[in-house]
Amino acid sequence: MPEPHATRRQFLVVASAAALLAVPWPTLAMPDAMKAAIRDVVKGAVVRVGKVKFDVPPLVENGNTVPVTVSVTSPMTDADHVVSIHIFNEKNPQPNVGNFYVGPRAGRGQVATRIRLADTQTLTAIAKLSDGSFWSATADVVVTLAACTEEAS
Amino acid sequence: MASALINVPATAKHGDIVEIKTLMSHIMETGFRHTETGAVVPRNIITDFSCRYNGVEVFRAELFPAFSANPFLAFFTVATESGTLEFRWAGDNGFS
């Protein structure tokens, strides 16, 4: 038998879901630690999807060394350049991977490195441009052998 | 003693964008691993890297335990003038 509160409850559920969907950026599925780490970087600014290209192999056999490349579309002039690039992960013990500070002297808004991944997960790269805007890209990685699990001898 | 590998084009035309690749030998111990007896292996990582071009900082990175052992970094810079590139790695236990 339907309770009188049911419709009100349903309305609240729908309303809160709509409020969450109104968030301009898909932070919904992220763990809290990752959200907090991203908040420390963007400081409440809106993060938009685009401009950033995140190259990660989709299937990784060894999580101890995963080559990643982040490149940002930017003319890299004094007036319009990439200020910093940040990489975050979902499932490592720590949400930060690295912060890279580039500038107009870089000539190209790109950085490449090798990282550890503890599990199959989604990585996020965020770039800050000189006009204060933030852009992001995500990449899904399947990891068959995880890093950080083996015992040290 | 740690050793580093750095790969930069020997010559470049004025205004060329050159890629700089660096590789540093370092264990990058995460601090999240345990020994067989359950003791935590203390963290020992490089936390900061910077590259100066004739004294001007052109690239800087903050590293976290998620970096692989022997951290590799590749980035770009504009060859503005002849000069020296200065690289600096710094980390736990006074590593530098």
Domain harbouring B52, CATH code: 2.60.40.10
Which chain A residue is nearest to residue B58, measuring alpha carbons?
Answer: A105
ipTM of the complex: 0.89
Q: List pLDDT tens digits, range A75-119.
A: 999 899 999 999 999 988 899 999 999 988 898 999 999 999 988
Does A148 sit within 8 Å of B41, measured CB to CB?
no
Q: What is the pLDDT of residue A27?
A: 60
Q: Are A90 and A82 in contact (CB under 8 A)?
A: no
Q: What is the pLDDT of residue A149?
A: 60
Average confidence score pLDDT of chain B: 90
pLDDT band per the 50, 70, 90 thresholds, residue B38? confident
**pLDDT beyond 70 at A127:** yes
Q: Which domain holds residue B9?
A: 4-94
CATH level 3 topology of A26-145: Immunoglobulin-like (2.60.40)
**Is B94 or A142 the better-scoring residue by pLDDT?**
A142
pLDDT band per the 50, 70, 90 thresholds, residue A12? low
Q: What is the mean pLDDT of residues B16-45?
A: 89
Q: What is the pLDDT of residue B6?
A: 92
Enter the tokens of residue B30: 């995460």
Q: List pLDDT tens digits, range A14-41.
A: 555 544 444 445 565 788 888 899 988 9
Number of domains in chain B: 1
Report the predicted TM-score, pTM, of the whole model to 2 decimal places: 0.82
What distance lies between CA A8 and its chain's CA centroid? 36
Does B71 sit within 8 Å of A113, measured CB to CB?
yes
Measured CA to CA in angstroms, residue B59 lies from A9, A66, A111, B55 at distances of: 53, 22, 10, 12
**pLDDT beyond 70 at A152:** no
Q: What is the pLDDT of residue A151?
A: 61
Per-residue DSSP letter, A14: H
Cβ-based contacts under 8 A for chains A and B: 103
Surface-to-core class of residue A128, CB atoms within 10 Å of its CB (0-12 exposed, 13-18 middle, 19+ buried): buried
Which chain A residue is nearest to residue B78, measuring alpha carbons?
Answer: A107
Does B58 sit within 8 Å of A105, measured CB to CB?
yes
Mutation site, A64, A116, A128, interface B, largest B CB count within 10 A: A116
Residue A42 to residue A55: CA distance in whole angstroms = 22
Q: What angle do CA B95, A68, A63 make, to 5 degrees?
A: 75
Which chain B residue is nearest to residue A100, measuring alpha carbons?
Answer: B61
**pLDDT beyond 60 at B8:** yes
